[in-house]
Amino acid sequence: MQIAKRALFAVAVIGLAARPASAQIDLSGIWAPIMHEDQAERAPGPEIGDYAGLPITDAARSRGLTWDASLLTMPEHQCQPHPSTYGFRGVGNLRIWVDQDPQTQQVMSINTQIQWMEQRRKIWMDGRPHPPEYAAHTWQGFSTGHWEGDVLVVQTDHLKAGWIRRNGLPLSDKAGMEDRFIRHGDLMTHISMVYDPFYTSEPVVKTNGFRLGLANRLDPYPCESVTEVVRAKGAVPSHLPGTNKAIEEYAAKYNMPVAAAAGGADTALPEFAAKLKTMPVPAKAK
């Protein structure tokens, strides 16, 4: 009987050793965004008319130029959170936690919450399919995830119409995103790849960092809309097509060609840097 027990123990040990290793890595904790890149866009906010480097379509540019920053003073817009396609580059700490089935310990979902406007996102990890197109579209969208090695890869759709950049560059409700979370010790690199059949000519790929901190906090962020500006009923701040000179003004302010400020996939390529020196720059307004 003693031999039999030892044999069973050996089999059990061998069985454990042969079990497929779990590739997942723990992302749990509160992460602070590192604002060393695109800081001017991400913290104070982008300048109006700055589309440089973004692979936008003509439709996106035209629609962007109808946007007026006063829109953000309207009660309907004051408490809008960022969509998940933009929030990870915004301000506010990020908390990540895991929901597991209490009996099986299977990971059901990985959840993220960004402090600003309480952006809560659920990333389903249980293999469920995405819902049909007619299902509700939300700010954070519907997300499912899987692991590629130690990298969490997430697919998101069912988004509300949002923005590529919070200076009016639009994103349609047909947009989607694949994002990746790569942890290197206390640093995490987040990669977002946003694509839109209407407003991007190729995926908008952005990468930025977070740092894990044991003392990091996530405070509440209640928001209540108020009347900031009294307007006539139905009035919506906007610009009619052809009337907004924001791109020209931004280009003049920073001594760059209008074609650079106007964006497009070619403006992100190294050869565009060489062309800059040969292109006319608009005169600064006096």
Partner 1 sequence: MKRLTSATLKGSLYAAILTTATLAAQQQAPAPAPPTPRAAAPIDLTGNWVSIVNEDWRWRMMTPPKGDYTSVPLNNAGRAEADKWTEAQDGSCQAYGAGALMRMPTRVRISWQDDHTLKVETDAGTQTRLLHIAPVGSAPVEPPAGAPRSLQGYTAASWEFAGRGGALAFGQGGGGGGGRGGRGGPAPLPKFGTLHAVTTNLNGGWLRKNGVPYSQDAVVTENWDRFKSPNGDEWFVVTTVVSDPKYLAQDFVTSSHFKKEADGSKWSPSSCK
The DSSP code for 108 is E
What is d(CA 110, CA 24) in angstroms, rounded to the nearest whole number? 12
The residues, ordered by sequence, that sit 6+ positions from 15 with a Cβ below 8 Å of its Cβ are none
Piece in contact with partner 1 (CB under 8 A), picked from 103-111, 167-175, 203-211, 223-231: 203-211
Nearest alpha-carbon partner for 57 in 158, 142, 172, 150: 172
Pair type for strands 151-157 and 176-184 = antiparallel
Given 96, 154, 260, 262, the residue binding partner 1 (CB under 8 A): 260
- At closest approach, how far in Å is the CB of 114 from partner 1? 18
Given 191, 221, 239, 245, the residue binding partner 1 (CB under 8 A): 191
Piece in contact with partner 1 (CB under 8 A), picked from 124-132, 167-175, 205-213, 228-236: 205-213
Cβ–Cβ under 8 Å, residues 284 and 249: no
- At closest approach, how far in Å is the CB of 275 from partner 1? 10
Piece in contact with partner 1 (CB under 8 A), picked from 21-29, 59-67, 80-88, 239-247: 21-29
Give yes or no for residue 146 binding partner 1 (CB under 8 A): no
- For 250, the enclosing helix (H) or strand (E) is helix 246-253
Given 117, 154, 159, 182, the residue binding partner 1 (CB under 8 A): 182
Pair type for strands 151-157 and 142-148 = antiparallel
Give yes or no for residue 273 binding partner 1 (CB under 8 A): yes
What is d(CA 151, CA 27) in angstroms, rounded to the nearest whole number? 10
Task: Indicate the SS3 state at residue 43.
Answer: coil
Given 27, 30, 31, 52, the residue binding partner 1 (CB under 8 A): 52
Given 49, 55, 170, 282, the residue binding partner 1 (CB under 8 A): 55
The first and second tokens of residue 2, run together, are: 């003693």
Nearest alpha-carbon partner for 205 in 177, 173, 169, 171: 177
- The CA–CA distances, whole Å, from 144 to 9, 33, 123 equal 39, 23, 5
By C-beta, is 43 or 235 nearer to partner 1? Answer: 43
Given 17, 214, 226, 230, the residue binding partner 1 (CB under 8 A): 17
Given 54, 152, 159, 169, the residue binding partner 1 (CB under 8 A): 54
Nearest alpha-carbon partner for 158 in 181, 176, 182: 176
Pair type for strands 142-148 and 169-171 = unpaired
Given 86, 88, 124, 195, the residue binding partner 1 (CB under 8 A): 195
Taking phi over 0 as left and psi of -120 to 50 as alpha, with beta for the rest, 23 belongs to alpha
Number of residues engaging partner 1 in binding (CB under 8 A)? 63
By C-beta, is 24 or 73 nearer to partner 1? Answer: 24
Give yes or no for residue 215 binding partner 1 (CB under 8 A): no
Give the residues lining the site for partner 1 (CB under 8 A): 3-4, 6-8, 10-11, 14, 17-23, 25, 34-40, 52-55, 148-151, 176, 178, 180, 182, 184, 187, 189, 191, 193, 195, 202-209, 211, 254-256, 260, 267-274, 276
